[in-house]
Amino acid sequence: MDRELEASYRYRRLGRRVAFGVGIAALCVAVLVLLPGWLRPSVAREQIRTGRVDRGPVEGIVEASGTVVPAFEGTIGLKSRLLVRDREMLISGPKRGFTPLAPVRLADCKPLKIVAPGPDNTRRRNLETYFQTHGVEIEAMLDMDAMIGTLEFVARSDWTTILPSVISVNDIGRGELIVNPIVEPELHAEFVVIQPARRTLSTPARIFLQRFEQEVAHIHDVWDAAIAAPKRRRA
């Protein structure tokens, strides 16, 4: 027959249960109070800036004073003006074998493997038009919109890409990427500033665009000097 537990034993067991429950509760409170301090971010909330990336018709996403984009056909509700007409450059890696800064006529090159922006990009359409119009043979074309990824891929392969001079100016003479001016004929990219037709540019926007145009003019001067240097050496 089972014997009834002694009262002192039952009290001790009940006490242990109560103590265990109190301990768990205290631990939960401590976690709730101390954890936010342990996990406090190193960057203050007010220092964080977020933005939204939109995809779609340009007239539906222009919400700032103005936006700089490649030249396009235009659309109702927007006004635009030419900001920059920039020369396009052929970019390749050492494996492709081009001489740095030597002018190249793409129609005279063996079929090119080109990394280009996606089909929805205005520059892609301009490139395809140039290739077809001037007899440029394309062996393969790879869609890639990520600029850094494109440059790293080209630098380590025999693929090429075409970029405006304002983007490729820092690659002059570095050796990781070979830059060649495109000639006969030259290829240009045009960039426009667009804004809602009923909205004027804010003062900060106007100042930014003035500084932007000055910097582009400086970059063009750098390119003119770099392209002229090999000619002077040959002369």
Least confident range from 41-45, 98-102, 121-125, 152-156: namely: 41-45
CA–CA gap between residue 164 and residue 153 (Å, rounded): 18
Question: Can you tell me the distance from the alpha carbon of 177 to that of 91, in angstroms, rounded to the nearest whole number?
Answer: 7
pLDDT in the model for residue 26: 58
**Residue 32 and residue 66 share a domain:** no
Model confidence over 89-117: pLDDT tens digits?
999 999 999 999 999 999 999 999 999 99
| Residue 201 belongs to a domain | yes
Please check whether residue 229 lies inside any domain of the structure: yes
- Work out the angle at residue 149's Cα, subtended by the Cα atoms of residues 156 and 175, and round it to the nearest 5 degrees: 40
Identify the domain containing residue 23 by its residue range. 1-40
What 8-state DSSP symbol labels residue 106?
Answer: G
pTM for the model stands at 0.65
pLDDT at 36: 52
pLDDT at 75: 57
DSSP-based helix, strand, coil % in the chain, nearest 5: 45, 20, 35
> Which tokens hold the place of 21?
């429950």
pLDDT, averaged across the chain: 77
| Number of domains the chain contains | 2
Split at pLDDT 50, 70, 90, the class of 59 is very low
Residue 24 shares a structural domain with residue 79:
no
pLDDT at 42: 53
Per-residue DSSP letters for 120-173?
TSHHHHHHHHHHHHTT--EEEEEE---HHHHHHHHHTSS-EEEEEHHHHGGGTT
Interstrand relation of 112-116 and 160-164 (parallel, antiparallel or unpaired):
parallel
Whether residue 130 is predicted with pLDDT greater than 90 in this model: the reply is: yes
Q: Is 83 in a helix, a strand, or coil?
A: strand
Q: Are residues 146 and 181 in the same domain?
A: yes
* Mean pLDDT along residues 128-152: 93
What are phi and psi for residue 12, nearest 5 degrees?
-65, -40
Structure tokens given for 39: 């996990």
CATH classification at residue 155: 3.40.190.290
